[in-house]
A = this chain, B = another copy of it.
Amino acid sequence: MKVGIIGGTGGIGQGMALRLSQTHTVYIGSRIEEKAQAACELCGYALKVLGLPFDLLPTTNQGVVDESEIVVFSIPAENLERTIEGLTGLEGKIVISLMNPMIRTDFFKYNPPEDGSAALKLQKLLPESKVVAAFNNIPAGKWQQLSEPLDYSVCVCSDFDDAKERVMELVNSISELKALDAGPLAVSPYIEAITPLVINIARFSKMRDVGVYFK
A82 to B138, CA, bound (A): 41
* Copies of this chain in its oligomeric complex: 2
- Asked whether, in the complex, the Cβ of A181 is within 8 Å of the Cβ of B201, the reply is yes
- Asked whether, in the complex, the Cβ of B215 is within 8 Å of the Cβ of A200, the reply is no
Of all A-B residue pairs in the complex, the 5 with the closest CB atoms, nearest first, are A181-B204, A190-B197, A190-B193, A183-B200, A213-B213
The contact sample of 29 A-B pairs, CB cut-off 8 A, is A107-B183, A107-B186, A107-B187, A155-B197, A180-B201, A180-B204, A180-B205, A180-B207, A181-B201, A181-B204, A181-B205, A182-B200, A182-B201, A182-B205, A183-B200, A183-B201, A183-B204, A187-B196, A187-B200, A190-B193, A190-B194, A190-B196, A194-B194, A210-B215, A211-B215, A212-B212, A212-B214, A212-B215, A213-B213
